[in-house]
Amino acid sequence: MITEKTLFAQHVEKGLSSTQKFLSSMYFYDKKGEALFREIMNLEEYYLTDCEMEILRVQGNEIAKAIGDEPLDIIELGAGDGIKTKELLKHFDFENVTYSPIDISEQAIIDITAKMKEWLPQLNTKGICGDYFKMIGDFKSDRKKVILFLGSNLGNMTDDQARGFLGQLHQVMNTGDSILLGLDLIKSEDIVLPAYSDSKGVTAQFNLNLLERINRELGGDFDTSQFEHLATYNEKEGIAKSFIRSKTDQTVIIKETEGSYSFKKGELIHTEVSRKYDLDIIRKIIDGTSLQLKYQFTDHRQYFTNLIFTKI
Ligand SMILES: C[S@@+](CC[C@H](N)C(=O)[O-])C[C@H]1O[C@@H](n2cnc3c(N)ncnc32)[C@H](O)[C@@H]1O
């Protein structure tokens, strides 16, 4: 049987055996990672949450109207804690709406389901724990739907992956269905870089938790004091990247993969890409689908945008 643990072990084996070592950001979110990400969202340097919160709080009513309130299934991919989403959901007619938050973190789903019951008791909430990449086929239905993908989660994909992903989503949508995307906009390094390398070191802990997770779940023997967090940002391309850097020459053994992995001093494990966007980039990504950009909302600093695409 292929379990989540087996998939994680296979991924780690592949990522740490590659010439350019990598680990997927999808594995950040175990219980500890989930708690650290909540801390990140409260950091002053992590402007993304504040900006999207402002958009949903101030313009939530307009966004809900633009989506429409006939019988509607609202599906949220990588929902996290739902605090921002609540600001949008409260504007819908609960009689007509179902809300399905999906998250790979079991803890996130337990928490968001309980919180939504407390915040919006009339809303029909049905949390689903799983990998949204594997669930796209299940979204097909006759009811009108809107797919929420907030927090600039799309930015964790390369543009080719984003094109493939939106193309797949578009195939399970009916005419008139929508996607609400939250995207971080391209801006200068002095604003972007601190969001991925904060002064309190929470993003560093979050990144290094990947190695701790390998130790906990796969029997790894990483000495995390011998690795460090590194964030970079290329302002021209609009791409931030996170890495884990080996501080010394060392070898790590992982029981579950039955492998040993050598690291040179300074060698990098690529862990995350955080793409920033402008409208030209996003238009190129959706080119070839029948998704049409219908509405654009931004925060007062124009750091972040929420876009509604409708299938025509
Ligand atoms: C950066 S957080 C954003 C949370 C929320 N959307 C927000 O804007 O605050 C990413 C969330 O997506 C979840 N996630 C990441 N990859 C996933 C996947 N492949 N399938 C389901 N959930 C995933 C994580 O567990 C985490 O809760």
Assess whether the C-beta atom of 105 lies below 6 angstroms from ligand 1. yes
Interacting residues of 265 by C-beta distance below 8 A, sequence separation 6+: 246, 247, 248, 249
pLDDT (0 to 100) of residue 123: 97
The DSSP secondary-structure symbol of 174 reads: P
- Quote the CA–CA distance of 299 and 301 in Å, as a whole number: 6
Q: Which atom of ligand 1 is nearest to the CA of 26?
A: 16
What are 158's two structure tokens?
């390369």
Residue 243 CA to ligand 1 center (angstroms) comes to 19
Pairwise pLDDT comparison (60 vs 141), residue with the higher score: 60
| Per-residue pLDDT at 3 exceeds 90 | no
Q: Which one of 11, 38, 57, 103 would you pick to mutate in the ligand 1 pocket, going by the greatest count of ligand atoms within 8 A of its CB?
A: 103
Structure tokens at 5: 């643990």
Amino acid at 78: G
Alpha helices by DSSP H, 120-240: 132-135, 159-171, 189-196, 202-218
Interatomic CA distance for residues 67 and 156, integer angstroms: 25
Q: 182-202 pLDDT, tens per residue? A: 999 999 999 999 999 999 999
CATH class belonging to 47-187+277-311: alpha beta
Residue 270 pairs in a beta bridge with 22, 243
For ligand 1, is residue 272 a contact (CB within 6 Å)? no
Per-residue pLDDT tens over the stretch 117-166: 999 999 999 999 999 999 999 998 899 999 999 999 999 999 999 999 99
Compute the Cα dihedral for 52, 53, 59, 65 and give only its sign: positive
* Residue 75 beta carbon below 6 angstroms from any ligand 1 atom: no
- Residue 181 host element (H or E): strand 178-184
**Token pair 């999207």: residue:** 52
